Amino acid sequence: MASTKQKLIIVESPAKAKTIGRYLGKGYKVEASQGHVCDLPKSQLGVDPDKDFEMKYITIRGRGDILSRIRKEARNASQIYFATDPDREGEAISWHLYHVLGVDEDKPCRIEFNEVTKKAVQNAIKHPRKLDMGRIDAQQARRALDRLVGYKISPLLWAKVKKGLSAGRVQSVATRMVVDRENEINAFIPEEYWEIAADCSTGKDKKKQQFRARLSSVDGKKAAVSDKKGADEVCSLIQSDTFTVSEVKSKERRRMPAPPFTTSSMQQEAGRKLSFTTSRTMQIVQQLYEGVEIEGEGIQGLVTYIRTDSVRISDEAMDAVRAYIPERFGLEFLPQEKNEYKGRKNAQDAHEAIRPTRIDRTPDSIKSSLSREQYMLYRLIWNRFVASQMSAAVYQTLTADITGSRVALRFYGEHKSFAGFTTLYEESSDENVDSVEMNLPTLKEGQEVSIDKIDSEQHFTQPPSRYTEASLVRTLEENGIGRPSTYAPTISTIISRGYVAREKKRLFPTELGIMVTDMMNSYFADIVDTEFTASMENRLDAVEEGKEDWKQILREFYPEFEKTLKVAEEEIEKIDIHDEVSDVPCDQCGALMVYKMGKFGKFLACPNFPQCRNTKPLLTYIDAPCPKCGKRLLEKVSRKNRRFYGCEGYPDCDFVSWDKPVTEKCPTCGSYMVEKRTARGETVLLCANENCRFRKTVDREEEDADE
């Protein structure tokens, strides 16, 4: 008796194949393609501009055995379903498999589901569709653009500038953002300002109330105290004045919960709360999506599809969470109407937000079945989703103006009267600036106020913060650069290429990253322009929606790009990049060593490479002596690729400075000074003493004289 033919389902990952196979049982065979099976050849451009951008696809090396196995199963299958991920890349993988297997064009064969659950998979099989050529063409357009940019610019930089350089369409923009931020920081000159506050009180004995008010205005003008002299004068005015409450405003402030996670917001929060990198976040959440062995339940997909920029959730999920909240937290924690959120501009909204597949599968109920990292991320997703449909937190706020004859103070305080969603979850920020809750005083207009104590505190304005992975993802998203599937690989790429380094969560450009960015800014300004890159993303979205022809994008892009390439080929040839010969002989062969540029900056290398592989670190001294011991200072590069200045006497002397010290001493406090260059190109000497911060602008005549 002949065996009954099975239906073949092809997915991307073995983990997902295993999960779906358990759900469907007999009658189905589930195979994994392990990602793309066809792609452009690595050894060739693979995109032919002379033949209207014809794409040359070949079987990826190492995928032959996988394709043979899938072909064998396909020959014996009664029906073939392509169940790759529900996005552009997934659609393209299905399309390549569709052609390789010779599936009937008129037969609906594509199935997709937003979550790897038994119900979702079985429902998808009942509703197959034809392949979505909009998604496929959008993927082809992106692939062609990336290949043209990468394969045309990288060899040019390699041949004309420096061996080992490379460029990419989105990665180059991300690198430029990190470089631009570093330039902003280097150009920043701190400005001194003083904060003045007073401990105030009303009433006496048991009725005495104490609170703290800050300086608001002097002589009717908004207070701006920029030095100690001004601070002392204001403190004297407060000390000699009498104050009354002139105005009191009490309000109720409602704070709404954050929406459920998109890919971007999940990466940001996992970075802030869990200290996960973007790539680690995506690795772990992929496991939660594809399926985890849960004790007593088998393999279960725990979260919905993980590459999304939508904040929408299904009606079924909404009903489930609204039924759960009053049962778990109480009826007062459930808003009368469901909380609805507006997605960002240009959000695709093809998939739901990231949420748990079952609301009753709480993090603690499955903790024993998860790794530590899986549990932490699942709890973050579960808490965020549930909190998104809870009641607002309610705060009572009080603002009071306390006025004297010349000086006005202001008190502001808030008190949380109802926790609402904050009982479960509060969103973080990169700055982590939280309002201080307090018991609010009872104040009335006309009430006399006593000044018990006056404090003045010196501060200096701070430069913009360096990007974290979380804040870079947010900036990329805000500027329309990339899409949910590209944030993590983009950041991983610029770090692995050595263009950007990560130190204590912060991102720094390396010498190599600065050099490549300068070159790209000079010759390929469009490629590293955020608006140009964002507009290209919008056009790719239009292709997916069937509103634009994908090849038309390439037809418009390539001619100008080709002209720019030709100009770059001519101009870059004029740059002298030959290795400069030093006066340092090689210890091993005697040849004079040459200066080389590497990932960590300049170094000395033997010119007889590869016969002689001797290298030496480059010692660059600066004019200023060490402020600690008087020896010479060296310009160095840290293991994280940051330039700094350290004493040649290390480890006996541990002096280091990120800013370049100078010989001139501070005329105010006698401390050493450092050199800074402003955004306008001016050189400024700044006192290194944080309690002084004297600064002096260096005249151009002085600079010229020094040279």
Give residue 295's identity as a one-letter amino acid code: E
Residue 525's H or E segment, with its range, is none
Residues paired with 457 in a beta bridge: 195
The backbone torsions φ and ψ at residue 317, rounded to the nearest 5 degrees and listed phi first, read -65, -40
Rounded Cα distance between 295 and 297, Å, is: 6
Q: Is 338 exposed, middle or buried (0-12, 13-18, 19+ CB in 10 A)?
A: middle
d(CA 152, CA 134): 27
Going from the C-alpha of 619 to that of each of 513, 562, 595, 603, 624, the distances in angstroms are 22, 42, 11, 9, 15
Cα distance between residue 554 and residue 137, in whole Å: 12
CA distances from 51 to 55, 150, 391, 550 (A): 9, 20, 59, 15
Residue burial 641-659, b: 16+ Cβ < 10 Å; e: rest: bbbebbbebeeeeebebee
Chain length of the chain: 707
Phi, psi angle pair for 248, to nearest 5°:
-130, 130
Separation CA 269–CA 261 (nearest Å): 9
Q: What is the dihedral of CA 386, 387, 391, 392, to 10 degrees?
A: -160
Reduced to 3 states (helix: H, G, I; strand: E, B; else coil), residue 223 is coil
Tokens 């018991």 -> residue: 439
8 A C-beta contact, residue 243 and residue 451: yes
Whose structure tokens read 């088998």?
298
Q: Give dist(CA 344, CA 262) in Å, integer.
A: 10
The DSSP letter of residue 665 is: E
Instruction: Take residue 53 and report the two structure tokens written for it.
Output: 């951008």
Quick one: which H or E segment has residue 512? helix 511-523
Contacts of 262 (CB under 8 A, 6+ apart): 308, 309, 310, 311, 343, 347, 353, 354, 484
Distance (Å, whole) CA 13 – CA 299: 14
CA 186 vs CA 189, 264, 462, 501, 678: distances in Å? 8, 29, 12, 17, 7
Give yes or no: 151 in active site. Answer: no
Look up tokens 């931020």; give the residue.
Answer: 181
Choosing from 57, 305, 425, 558, the catalytic residue is 305
Measured CA to CA, the distance from residue 482 to residue 164 in angstroms comes to 25
Q: Is 707 helix (H, G, I), strand (E, B) or coil?
A: coil
Sequence-ordered alpha helix ranges (H) in 275-406: 278-290, 315-328, 372-388
> Using CB atoms within 10 A of its CB, is residue 200 exposed (0-12), middle (13-18) or buried (19+)?
buried
Region for residue 505 given its phi and psi (left: phi exceeds 0; alpha: psi -120 to 50; beta: otherwise): left
User: CA-based angle 576:581:587, to the nearest 5?
Assistant: 150
Cα 640 versus chain centre, distance? 19
Annotated catalytic residues are 305
